[in-house]
Amino acid sequence: MLLDVSLEEAQQLLLQNLTPPAKEKLSILEASSRTLAENLVAGENLPAWSSGARDGYVLHANDLDGHRKLSIVGTLSAEQIPLTLNSGETIEVRTGGVIPHGGTSLVPHEEVEIGETEIYLEKAIRSGEFIRQAGEDIKAGELYAQEGSIISPGLISVLAAQGRTEVQVYSSPRVAILSLGEQLVSWKETSGPGCLRDSNGPLIATLARRDGAQIIALNVVGNKGRAELVTYMQEIIEDADLLITIGGTYARKEAETKTLFTEMGGEMLFWGVPIQPGGHNGAALWNKKCLISLSGNPAACAVGYELLVAPVIRALQRKEPYTPRVKAQCLDNIGAKGSERRFVRSYLTTDGSIWRVKVLPGQKPGMIRSLVNCNALIDLPAGNPAIEAGTLVSVILLDPSSIRLKQAENC
């Protein structure tokens, strides 16, 4: 077991010990934002036939030069079998309607003079105008999405157009979350004297769901004896891909969760990462499954999750483990504090050209106020001197979808 490893070393130890993710088939309507677990090859042309891109009249190749009258010989809707078009004739089609044999171009209604039995074409029309050629979008046999791609609404549209009802994806990791601490009770219960409602469990469950996990257990287990707890953890990890424990990471002699991981048969990977907040943490392997221990202090718990757990959950879905970093203008002074690497909870915004980051109030490890609007972490190296407002700092985006195009507000 390694002690007090760097953050990057801890992350690498976790990622290199992950088992390949499982796969499952989902309805295409349930697959948005999941990771594709197969290569997608078109089974048919898209569009399947040449069709009209507008409501209008189809023209023969000999009739494109304008200044001529053409006889209307029929009308085709989208589902009708195409007719044959001869020179001097035109056939009306609706958007998506099949182009008749012999038709090479389409002129919209509003660009011709329409009579009862004929149209007058004044301007010349280019060959292929307003015609969707068969296979011009996607050709049969073409690879249109690779395994590992994130499934977008647009890809679901293509799947539907190809007649696919299901698609193979990487399964959502099954995560169990256990909160330790004799003083803890469920957030659903009334808090009596000396008791604390568990806020960390719901926090981590929500973050894990944000990152694509499914929560199979969310329990407060501080009232269990050690032997009972070891057995319980062994049972619960059987059905999970990842076990997260919260609390019990620091004691005068021996951290509780380190002992629990060892007694349940886990192989310790590391213990302790010198960061603030969240330095009291660790990880182990049990039957090739990850066990990760986070600090019980709320802010430390949240930071530990973002830096250690979130990359694991993403990697288990074949997603990019890390969220982006940016250089941002710090709007506040940050005092020098301690010798360890620090992660400052913050609120990141941009006006489209400049990133700005605001330090959130309530930076003590036990405070939760700073988590309300936290969408980024300012990464300050160990021993970093005081930061003056206006300085560029390195910032980790926690949830890129939360970034707003505006100035930082009062948070």
- From 3.40.50.300, 3.60.70.12, 1.20.1740.10, 2.170.190.11, which CATH number describes the 51-132 domain? 2.170.190.11
Q: Which residues of the chain have pLDDT under 70?
A: 77-82, 251-255, 405-411
Give, as one character, the DSSP assignment of residue 411: -
Q: According to the model, what pLDDT value does residue 255 have?
A: 60
* % the chain with pLDDT above 70: 95
Helix axes 256-263, 226-238, angle to 10 degrees: 60
How many Å is the maximal CA-CA distance in the chain?
A: 97
Cα dihedral across residues 259, 261, 263, 265: positive or negative: negative
- From 2.40.340.10, 1.10.10.10, 3.40.640.10, 3.30.200.20, which CATH number describes the 325-405 domain? 2.40.340.10
Q: Closest Cα partner for 220 from 266, 189, 175?
A: 189
Written as six digits, the tokens of 94 are 């609706």
Q: According to the model, what pLDDT value does residue 405 have?
A: 62
Written as six digits, the tokens of 286 are 């049990």
Q: Which CATH architecture has domain 2-22+172-315?
A: 3-Layer(aba) Sandwich (3.40)
Are the CB atoms for 236 and 243 separated by under 8 Å? yes
CA distances 128 to 52, 107, 175, Å, are 10, 10, 55
Encode pLDDT of 79-111 as tens digits: 666 678 999 999 999 998 899 999 999 999 999
Encode pLDDT of 292-343 as tens digits: 999 999 999 999 999 999 999 999 999 999 999 999 999 999 998 878 999 9
Q: According to the model, what pLDDT value does residue 254 have?
A: 56
Written as six digits, the tokens of 135 are 């296979």
The structural domains of the chain, with segments of one domain joined by +, span 2-22+172-315, 23-46+137-170, 51-132, 325-405
Q: According to the model, what pLDDT value does residue 387 have?
A: 93
Can you name the residues that pair with 76 across neighbouring β-strands?
Answer: 93
Q: How far is the first Cα of the chain from the last one, in angstroms, to the nearest whole number?
A: 41
Q: Which CATH architecture has domain 23-46+137-170?
A: Alpha-Beta Complex (3.90)
